[in-house]
Chains A and B, each alone.
Chain A
């Protein structure tokens, strides 16, 4: 061994110069990439030294002290798991137990569709991974299709379908004047899209606007999508987070299922179980029958093989431990409601403070909107002022992560917003 090391040392001295002379960097022309608009905000926040700084940028829940939260049910699950289970590869489709429980959340505890085994489902790398897997699947099996994406949407949706090489179009969603839903234009876009288009829908708590269709509006959306033979793909990243009740938050999906759509769903446990960094999610595709579901699942696995082969075990174990234990599941539901209620409380407080300050603008939308985010209506220039003058960090589209607002910071935030908008 020592001889090998000594030899390689001498050889390297002699040839290092030779190596260098023959090589130039292959990457000289690589340009610095633009910073991610969302994750770049946290980087800037961390670099800021001001004691007053407030981060309402990234969509991660904070408690009323501004601290990240690990749910008690998660801690308990981890204690049970630690050191006790082997770490061998999961099956390609991921944890069977985790997927089973996850489907119940989306499709219903007693769903006939689950009983009839009509759902092709695989564990995915959180919501991002589920969307990407679906986009790759769409590209492979419906190569002539295009995806319709709402305006606005989570920025990474565009990256995902672009990298999957699926052509994208947009549909009207947010109505800036009313800070609500541009329903008529949305329906028009659905009607005008070529038959058989794919539509990306946010199941609840739309990111970044917080604007959701009403139940009545969902029924009409479902009707028109069906009439055109479109495919509805739901991104559900906030089940439980919007109203505090996971069943309620799945209403849009249940409407589509009742109406007979064969939908696809990306689910994530990042927010509602606080498992952000564990990357746990699920992609499901509702099929005609069990045989087709088996075929579709095999194709989804085939797509995952040249990516990560099989998904990570730890986060999936946490989820399955919690959801398959009635007491832990009950605890989880309680903790989700606490988080949702705190956010709703902060919405009320922010609006209240702005109105108390005598702002001439309407801030009704703060409490009309739902979920983690408030689409404030602030312009990029106003956002820049908030950052530069008040050390308040948010994305430049004016999206405020309400989960990052605390009793301690809401007044400061209201003052600052008032200053830049009066």
Chain B
């Protein structure tokens, strides 16, 4: 062995520089910047309408009572262990989640044509699906609706897929640009993947009607496009879990194939538990088995197997009739509060005589509302009224209490009748 001299704590790279010498700070992620700014703000009237988290009337974090109850049970269950789940997650969770989305009578489930794997949140469900497509599908183009959830482009392109967009929201009318959507999907590359929001479109709150969904479905099948659903708000849009899954069920039941990424972050308030699933509806049971085996190969080098806790909570709730009932009651109450706050805001603005048509507030559904404001108007609201939201004008209705509505309506009124251009306000 060579004689070892005492070492100087020098840099390690052969040319003397750190490997990360030239590393720059990563660009801040907008939603976290907004939250940080809100947290720093000392103003007592401040409102955080920027992050997609449901809050109580008192503006507090909301853990569902049924979830608290289940957690107590789990903590006291001495027979439960912490062994690794299978790569594809908790089997019972997977079955129950598939039933929740596709319906207990789903022929695809009965025929064992649905592969469902627990993933670490809706995000990772999307990413795993995208990785699978990048590896096994011949067409690497994904069409995203314009606009869409801020992280969609990152999730899809990180898997090496190419992004395109299709028209979705009309900023002039503040409703669905259905013609534009049909045209763009009608001229999309054959076999391209198309991302759809199953319900409660984020960030606009604008959803197609049932009839429109049917037209979309026919077009997708005629063009041989591959539908990929993001289902993050089931139950929070109409208050009814089955109704909110209609778009998925249309596609899941027509004999064709589709992907569905699901999240329990919002509808079960399990945000930090990172619990979601990826389902792939296949043509045959044999294909489904092979697809599942290939999904394991993608998951293993990402995180090996998913976390237990969120899945245990969801499973306990979905499989017990009483707990399920408790959950649906709480879900409906959450959804009703969203509807009520929307109505209250709309009424306030009408009563104030704030110029413009505010009906989009009550026409839009779910947790998000696209106000149509531009960055200057958003900045005005933040600067003058300490109201925080995404710079694209999306507000989270779930973060607005009825007590805060008068303040918010006042701020909007001021923004409109001030010298800011009001052309983009309805």
Contact = CB atoms under 8 A, between A and B. Distances in A.
Q: Do the two shown chains form a genuine complex with each other?
A: yes
Interface of A: 1, 4-5, 7-8, 11-12, 15-20, 22-33, 35-36, 39, 58, 60, 68-70, 74-75, 78-79, 81-83, 85-92, 125-126, 128-129, 132, 141-142, 156, 159-160, 162-164, 195-196, 216, 219-220, 223, 226, 228-231, 258-262, 270, 274-279, 285, 287-288, 292, 294-296, 298-299, 301-302, 305-315
Interface string B153-167: 011011000000000
Given A8-B210, A278-B309, A27 B291 contact: yes
Nearest to A17: B255
A208 B179 CA distance: 60
Given A1-B243, A89-B53, A82 B18 contact: no
A27 B76 CA distance: 44
Nearest to A228: B14
10 contacts: A15-B214, A16-B254, A23-B256, A141-B20, A141-B23, A216-B1, A295-B24, A298-B25, A302-B27, A305-B151
Nearest to A12: B253
B353 interface: no
A282 B121 CA distance: 19
Given A12-B253, A220-B4, A275-B82, A262 B18 contact: yes
Contacts of A258: 7
B74 A60 contact: no
Nearest to A281: B303
Contacts of A196: 13-14, 19
A306 B297 CA distance: 19
Nearest to A20: B255
B271 A87 contact: yes
A295 B25 contact: yes
B246 interface: yes
Interface stretch (B180-188, B219-227, B328-336, B417-425): B219-227
Contacts of B273: 87, 312-314
Interface of B: 1-2, 4, 7-15, 18-20, 23-29, 32, 53, 61-63, 67-69, 71-72, 74-76, 78, 80-87, 120-121, 123-124, 127, 136-138, 151, 154-155, 157-158, 191, 210-211, 214, 217-218, 221-222, 224, 226, 238, 240, 242-243, 246, 249-250, 253-257, 269-274, 282-284, 287, 289-291, 293-294, 296-298, 300-310
Given A298-B25, A306-B151, 16 more contacts: A16-B254, A26-B257, A82-B71, A85-B63, A86-B61, A90-B272, A125-B120, A159-B301, A162-B301, A220-B2, A260-B12, A270-B84, A278-B309, A309-B121, A312-B274, A314-B310
Given A156-B301, A306-B154, A82 B25 contact: no
A294 B25 CA distance: 8
B290 A7 contact: no
The 6 A-B pairs with the shortest beta carbon distances in the complex, nearest first, are A260-B9, A313-B272, A229-B14, A25-B283, A86-B61, A82-B75
B121 A36 contact: no
Contacts of B67: 83, 87
A16 B87 CA distance: 34
B221 to A, nearest CB: 5
A125 B255 CA distance: 36
Which residue, of A75, A89, A229, A315, has the highest number of chain B Cβ atoms within 10 A? A89
A31 B287 CA distance: 9
